[in-house]
Amino acid sequence: MAAAAEGKARVVVVGGGIAGSLLAKTMQDHADVVLLDPKDYLEIPWAELRSMVEPSFAERSLIYHRDYLTNATIVTSSAVGITEHAVLTADCQSLEYDYLVIATGHALTSPGSRNERIKEFQRDHGKIESSGSVLIIGGGPTGVELAGEIAVDYPEKKVTLVHRGSRLLEFIGNKGSKKCLDWLTSKKVDVLFQQSIDLDSLSNMEKLYRTSAGETVTADCHFVCIGKPLGSSWLHDTILKESLDNKGRLMVEKDLRIKGYNNIFAIGDITDIPEIKQGYLAHKHALLVAKNLRLLIKGSPNSKLETYSTGFPLALVSLGRKEGLAQLPFLTLSGCLPGMIKSRDLFISKTRKEMGLSA
């Protein structure tokens, strides 16, 4: 692909998740923007679990990149390399850049096509519908929210959650973990702590699952809800290999430029910023970097760039359709109030509006 049109800086954004897509959308009228993503759509990730119990929900939470990027170039492929001037793609393109933003978050397992992703949700829904009992592996936000969705929509189904930690939602305080456990228990969800299940031996053919503590769980189907690896393995053979920390995260300065580079930024889950990896923080990264890119394009000195600071860790976890759990600076709340904030719509309308679309 040729260099940017005369007079317009070219910004290449690698990764079309929550952070990369918002950045590309915000910058499309200020630069020659190229979004590189293996999917043809943006997935609003916190709607994934609702879409498993109600597949039609995905119609609003899976957004074609072309619907919000009306003034940018979309390249549907993966990045495989970076040089000082270009990003190399899996389909052998070389995308030249003046500014580069890495937003590859966590490694993708989703299909490249929006239609295929909707079919996945329909298959998961069918799996839940046809099962009398469900095993959920992992007690982080994904496992807890999925257990909540199933327990509320299908109270007759037996739900068991197995978690290797000593409490649920370890990223929040003890009080929040306890409230969450009490809520799940009140919905007759069985929670087994400090146990794991050998993922390599899993099959949906067997209805018996043995835990590391020797307990047997009977379930008609299972869902694995443990953390995905970071989407940074492709960077190991690039100019940014020295910029990765020992966990595979990109080390950034306060202005979110990658250490040692003037024109390469990182945003979202892939950064080494010491904070909980959450969607609303990825949004903050994207908007800050968009502001800094506009300043740099105008020729402002580095000293004028905005800097990012971490705030108090906030958490909102939905528990079914009407209730939720909120950890605020001096307060942990559960019940209908946090549920009104998140659980009813899961911020889908708000996110769609941010992307310039109808709610």
Written as tens digits, the pLDDT of the chain (359 aa) is 444 455 799 999 999 999 999 999 999 999 999 999 999 999 999 999 999 999 999 999 999 999 999 999 999 999 999 999 999 999 999 999 999 999 999 998 899 999 999 999 999 999 999 999 999 999 999 999 999 999 999 999 999 999 999 999 998 999 999 999 999 999 999 999 999 998 877 766 778 899 999 999 999 999 999 988 999 999 999 999 999 999 999 999 999 999 999 999 999 999 999 998 999 999 999 999 999 999 999 999 999 999 999 988 889 999 999 999 999 988 999 999 999 999 999 999 999 999 999 98
* Strand-pair category, 133-137 with 158-162: parallel
| 125 φ, ψ (degrees, to nearest 5) | -60, -45
pLDDT of residue 3: 44
Bridge partners of 74?
35
3-class secondary structure, 260: coil
* Strand-pair category, 190-192 with 158-162: parallel
Token pair for 349 = 């309308």
Question: Nearest-CA neighbor of 89 among 77, 74, 101?
Answer: 77
Instruction: Answer yes or no: are the C-beta atoms of 256 and 266 closer than 8 Å.
Output: yes
- Overall pTM > 0.85: yes
Per-residue exposure over 96-134, b if at least 16 CB sit within 10 Å of its own CB, e if not: bbbbbbbbbbbebebbeebeebbebbeebbebbeebebb
Distance CA(262)–CA(139), nearest Å, equals 40
Instruction: Answer yes or no: are the C-beta atoms of 317 and 332 closer than 8 Å.
Output: no
pLDDT of residue 183: 98
pLDDT of residue 81: 97
Instruction: Answer yes or no: are the C-beta atoms of 336 and 342 closer than 8 Å.
Output: no
Distance CA(209)–CA(343), nearest Å, equals 31
pLDDT of residue 4: 47
The full DSSP string for 259-303 is TT-SSEEE-GGGB--SS---HHHHHHHHHHHHHHHHHHHTT--GG
Kindly list the structural domains of the chain, giving each domain's residue range(s) and its CATH number in brackets, ordered by start. 10-38+77-109+228-311 (3.50.50.60), 114-227+314-349 (3.50.50.60)
